[in-house]
Structure 1
């Protein structure tokens, strides 16, 4: 990358935050921004709840203006398991519905540190299990029409939900789309096995220290961070997983670990596609529709949905 490109991308550098102390500020900033842009999307969604054994979980359902596919995308938002919610992700989910022609159901799972691991994961699992066992609740006829989608920490949750379903002998979703997912527990540039952690952990959008802060809030007990439901790369058995699309961002510290998870899924006998968006930053799914990174990602997502219709692993 030339110096001019680096200088321009430097404008998108992540603010240096101590998330362990500043996460309430980040949440307030997200809420303030959502209050400004949210009203324009209200006609695109409806509110509902998923009743589970652990309580009612809010879900926001986005309907595309023209429904081109019968699939329902069950979406878990990013934010390091600590920030983000269905309000702040409303523009991204409305865009997802429009560009895929699918209904998108965004899950408002509980956040750390008020609700550390496994609370948020349990919420995502409960909603997924409920819909897979009775897909008519999602407005579809077959469980294979429910597609798990998540970005960043949400991609981590989608992968973990699929592992939980397989481990418990329950039906898994037919497909999952993991957008620049967190799959490993170590993001220290001195000890991480991944080059992207060393090369991109201090430059843009998301930093090594911020990921570490998120982990400390989500999983306070350090030893528990190696749990496969926290770090899916640690799973000893990746067989029986959904057909998977892993999309990574070239300039993201999570790039290499996401792609490694895709390779291990493939080696375990699963159908997997891995696509790296060149020159892209972490979090690009929230960019405006004219963004090249966003448009490229949705071309790949739509091709994946077309090529793997309604498939459920045996």
Structure 2
């Protein structure tokens, strides 16, 4: 069912305010942490804490074990939040669900946030964690081919950037990545080449103004706009990338750039599946699994992980 007029009106009221994020981001972080503590607590899971050294910085990671005794691989997860908000604490429930829904160990990365630590600090944290896990197969007794990158929104951007960086640095290369409504482009103005920036830029929770503000806080300088590790669509080459699953949301301003990134990967010879989640808003993946769109997302993820091509008939592109 499409979003009706009453729902559209409610979304317009609930949509993120146009407040200056440069003044309010610390309060937003605090509110997310408070909300995470008050909302549902994940159950039937086991976790432990770990730290990875990145230069003179220790990157905290939280490892979630699935309820099944034997896991089938590893998902390295980078959380969303516009590179400015979000943490392993605020994504506890998501990661616990992810471990139990996929039967895989989930490693959640608490990368440094902007603007205190602008690009590429958070990305380098994500790369350092990924590098350690790939180069030490004994760490969790998992072969490199069973390690998959996954992220939502800004985390999808980071997953794509880590894959590009891994190819360029030549230390390891992921075989698969899952990008959920990723931020892939660098133009969210009214003249953007992507219609979803204008069509979904107001009234659907995440606004294009909010996206622009987040990206301004994240970058170190305007030169970053053309850096493929900042905006993966700016890459000069899309070759030698992992098999990729991209899931976008119908009413998300980032929808078209995420799908364009998938098409660029596919044109360069990579194996790519793109699915547009009908009637979905940006951020829906953080909802409980009982929501149909979240359940469908895990169905798609599991088919992709198990390479069940025949079960992917619902892919739209």
Normalised by the size of structure 2, how large is the TM-score? 0.92
Question: Is 1:212 paired with 2:224?
Answer: no
Q: Which has the larger displacement, 81-90 or 66-75?
A: 66-75
Residues 70-89 of structure 1: CA distance to partner in whole angstroms, max 9, x if unpaired? 21000000001000000001
* Superposition pairs of residues 158-197 of structure 1, within 5 angstroms: 158-188=159-189, 190-197=190-197
What residue is the counterpart of 1:108 in the other structure? 110
How many Å apart are 1:11 and its aligned residue? 5.7
Q: CA deviation at 1:15?
A: 3.4
Alignment CA distance shift 1:241-1:300 (3 Å): same
The residue that corresponds to 2:254 in the other structure is 254
Compute the RMSD of aligned alpha carbons: 1.9
2:62 counterpart SS class: strand
CA distance in 2 between counterparts of 1:85 and 1:106 reads: 9
Structure 1 residues 256-275: aligned runs within 5 Å: 256-275=256-275
CA distance in 2, matches of 1:198, 1:32: 32
Does the 8 A contact of 1:176 with 1:242 survive in 2? yes
Q: CA deviation at 1:277?
A: 0.3
Partner of residue 34, structure 2:
32
Assess if the C-alpha contact under 8 Å between 1:92 and 1:286 holds in 2: yes
Q: Provide the C-alpha distance between the structure 2 equivalents of 1:304 and 1:69, rounded to a whole number of angstroms.
A: 16
Specify the SS of the correspondent of 2:49. strand
> What are the superposed Cα offsets for residues 80-100 of structure 1, whole Å, 9 maximum, x if unpaired?
100000000111111111111
Q: The residue matched to 1:193 in structure 2 has which SS?
A: coil
Partner of 2:147: 146
In the TM superposition, what is the alpha-carbon distance from 1:204 to its structure 2 partner?
A: 1.1
Q: Are the structure 2 counterparts of residues 10 and 292 from structure 1 closer, same or farther at C-alpha, using a change threshold of 3 Å?
A: farther
**Secondary structure, counterpart of 2:138 in structure 1:** helix
Tell me if 1:18 matches 2:16.
Answer: no
After superposition, the Cα gap between the structure-2 partners of 1:303 and 1:40, relative to the gap in structure 1 and judged at 3 Å, is closer
Greater shift, 141-150 or 116-125, is seen at 141-150
Deviation, 1:301, is: 0.4
Tell which deviates more after alignment, 10-19 or 213-222.
Answer: 10-19
* Pairs within 5 Å for 1:1-314: 1=2, 2-7=4-9, 9-10=11-12, 12-37=14-39, 41=43, 44-66=46-68, 69-137=71-139, 139-188=140-189, 190-307=190-307
SS of 2:81's equivalent in the other structure is coil
CA distance in 2, matches of 1:163, 1:135: 21
1:304 aligned counterpart, secondary structure: helix
SS of equivalent to 1:250: strand
Q: Which stretch of the first structure deviates more once superposed, 25-34 or 63-72?
A: 63-72
Q: Retained in 2: the 8 A contact 1:49–1:57?
A: yes
- For the Cα contact (< 8 Å) 2:248–2:277, is it kept in 1? yes
**Conserved? CA contact 1:67–1:103, under 8 Å:** no
Q: How far apart are the structure 2 equivalents of 1:149 and 1:308? A: 18
Q: After TM superposition, give the deviation of residue 149 of structure 1 in Å.
A: 0.4
Question: Deviations 1:3-44 (Å, cap 9, x if unpaired)?
Answer: 245345446422333211110110110111122237555953
Within 1, Cα distance between the matches of 2:276 and 2:218?
Answer: 27
Judged with a 3 Å threshold, the aligned counterparts in structure 2 of structure 1 residues 39 and 198 are, in CA distance, closer, same or farther, namely closer
Provide structure 1 residue ranges, at least 5 long, that are not aligned to the other structure: 310-314
CA shift at 1:285, angstroms? Answer: 1.1
